[in-house]
Amino acid sequence: MNLPKNHFKAALARGERLIGLWSALGSPVVAEILGDGGYDWIALDTEHTPSEPADILAQLQAVAGSGTSVIARPAWNDAVLIKRLLDVGVQTMLVPYVQNEAEARAAVAATRYPPEGVRGVTGMGRAARYGRLPRYLQQAAAEIAVIVQIETKTALDNLEAIASVPGVDAVFIGPADLSASMGHLGNPGHTEVQGAIKDAAARLNALGRPAGILSFDPPQAQQFFTWGFQFIAVGADLTILTRGMADLLTHFRSANGEN
């Protein structure tokens, strides 16, 4: 039995454009549906959802046979939260609210065993196939990807230092929190925010560091690709459900002459 290959990390290194979906519903049934949908990756969120490691475990199991890569976002840049997700088998970690070089280093350290990091040691978890991967402790880091999330103006000011930390595989821009930090709460489409996002992509491209972002507006998401973003979440299970419901209801209300 071999350590699973992190296909997302490998695709990033090859410079491939990767189209993803965001998952907030925390359901293994939904995760299975998303996994079989043909997207390159899905993000399982625990920051703004009720999901805990046991929920992520069930979703990982549901997606396992699909070939779709999984990214998981812990609730915070916390070594304990990151450790628990790694132990259930997450290989790509999206660490939120990284503000500076020191916090980026802490995020990487949380994914590495001593002496390179601070990850707690167990060889009996799902990540090690319950002890069936005897070299897991030595090999794990090679297949773990760390994505740090930039969500504030302060983080943008420190972008090069954050992105240059060894072990940071990619940088992800969070438009909603960034717009709030820049004084445009609820308006990530503001020209100042969009200008900052475009500039961030150019700076990351200059460093040779993959850039990611999310946008649930297809034309905007396509524009982000033209700006140099390499991996983009172009929709979310929650928004697909709510918008689909609304569109369906509007259709039948209109067809029956109702407002």
Enumerate the active-site residues.
Answer: 48
Place of tokens 């930390």: 165
Q: Is residue 215 a contact partner of residue 232, using CB atoms and an 8 Å limit?
A: yes
Secondary structure class of 86 (helix, strand, coil): helix
Place of tokens 């990033």: 12
Those residues whose C-beta lies under 8 Å from the C-beta of residue 118, and which sit 6 or more positions away, are 79, 109, 110, 112
* Helix H or strand E encompassing 43: strand 41-45
Residue 50 vs residues 111, 154, 229, 253: alpha-carbon distances, Å: 23, 28, 29, 34
